[in-house]
Structure 1
Amino acid sequence: MADVAKLAGVSSQTVSRVANDRQNVDASTRERVLSAMKVLGYRPNTAARALVTGRFRALGVISFDISAYGNARTFAAISDAARASEFSVNLMGARARTEAAVRKAFEHLAVQSVDGVVVVESQILDTPQLRLPQSMPVVVADGSTGHHYPQVDVDQALGARSVVEHLLDLGHRTVWHVAGPRDAYAAHRRAEAWQAALTAAGAETPPVLYGDWSSLSGYWAGLELASRDDVTAVFAANDQMALGVLRALREAGREVPYEVSVAGFDDIPEAEFIPPPLTTVRQDFEAVGRQCVRLLLDEIAHRADVPRWTTVAPALVVRRSTAPPPTR
């Protein structure tokens, strides 16, 4: 800093003000200091700054499975939003879907000196209410409704309801459902909304078939559905399972959408390119990531008006895998 001050012909305090983006420096002086920084390759000492401000300008993210489509998209959005606010991001994987594993990951991030943590939590198997040490702010994405932390989630109920209403409006008497795992929060909310939409329309509620989010589990459920003549519409709880249902129907000679309509949830990149292009619900994972960062930064700044629950609206994307039922 002394070298920059000497080259720019200013005091070390002026260099400090420029380095910390203070506004009480005139434009020409700021330009001389920035030019000197560039010539000398000067970078502010982040460790020293953290000692003064109490902030590390780093966020932590805990995720069970970063390879999952939604988690990967959410993490990318968190990284972009953090970078726009001049924060770095440290990713920590939890080894198991338990609170103990999340606590361990949280402790590792605390040692790495982060200001707050986003938990991308599709499911924790041993507790409905995550409790972490009160050492730093926490925001949860895609969690259960029981947490006391601020949460951000896509409106799962709205997305599922829009699919069911679309299929019923086409003239289908009911809609069969291939649900996600029984212990997954998102799967539970989508199945609950599917049933509520059928009940509200006065339609019969068929038995639920359960998968595990994979295309293979959708395929096995699809084989069972393909064997039933009374199945004309299927809502799969994610696009991967919908792909499995489509293959099973095709192998059984059931034409989609003219004999059976199929809809999914997520709008993965492949959804519009498979035959036929898949009707699905688009989740705005980018908006979820941005909201997580916004809430976390508000928590870090100790703002009192941080909302406890924030939802992002999904959008129904109608493609060629849904159509009116066959006439009998």
Structure 2
Amino acid sequence: MHFFYNTNKILFILIFIISYWFNSIVNANIYIVDNFKFSEKISNIKKNRSNIIDKIKIQAFEELKKRLLVQDDLKLIKSNDEGLNLIDNFIIKDEIQINQDYQFVVSVKFNPDKVKNFFKSQNIRFVDYKGDPLLIFYFEKDKSGKMNIWNNDNFYEIFFSFQDFLIEYVSPGGDLKDQSSVIFDNNIKMKDIKVNKLLNNYGLKNYLVIFFDKNYPNNIRAKLSIKNTVYYKSFLFDGNFDSIIPKLKFFVENIWKEQNIFNIENTTLITYTFYPKDIISLNTFKKIISKNKNISQQNIQFISKKKMTGSFIFSGSEDDLIENLESQKVKINKKNKNWDIYLNE
């Protein structure tokens, strides 16, 4: 009997650890700058290859900064040289000679904890998790004024060929239900475009609508709705989707980061003891904590079938955090900054 009890206890802990590890791996992928291309004159490489490698690493850190920071905060880091100290792994995947230039294709894995600690030491806000899925909907008008709403596979193919880290995009399938959910007049204006029915088809709340009127070939317009806040922006268009799509995605990600940024100026460390009923309640609690956008640096110190102790840092109002957790059937007994937590099921 004692043997089976210990076996169940071990399985209980292993299941939780594997689940926690998987989520950590997914999050860590945001810190990998993969297939990064860097070109340099062959003559410069011959002079000092090691300096060129450092230069590549610094440029990769610049790429990571753009991924994690809002645009206005990029200028707060005066030098990218610190990026050299934040790298776990550097791999040269390919080297290609193009005339008198030499192109490196590399993968740079940054250490998440070191990067976050560096940002915090500089009082820089950051975000490193994926947001809720967002519906991307593209349509265009030809020069005769005819709307093309559903036959735009070329745009979506190029759009999804660019890797995403913080936003998960979903495109409509265009079936009969979708088509009946979106009916546009030829003279419709961006502010009047509504896609609520289309969103409901996919259980989504946020969307990005992109409109290209070929009567104005140098202009693409976008309407973005995130958390019921609507943004409009126009982009100069050279006729090449490969050049405009990164700008569209940067526009979306920057606004999303502004809304969800981790503000280090208002953070609190909470230590807790959670009392699970079973492995299901333990995983449920873990998911609730993981999905909270204002919680970071989760640290599990001890885990057993009867309790789990740990800590986390949250950004914002403690009252708002408690209200959010209690709305998800989490019961909290506060003892200053030490919490006893239960799950009401």
Shorter-chain TM-score range: under 0.3
Which has the higher relative contact order, 1 or 2, with Cα contacts under 8 A spaced 6 or more apart? 1
TM-score relative to the length of structure 2: 0.21
TM-score relative to the length of structure 1: 0.22
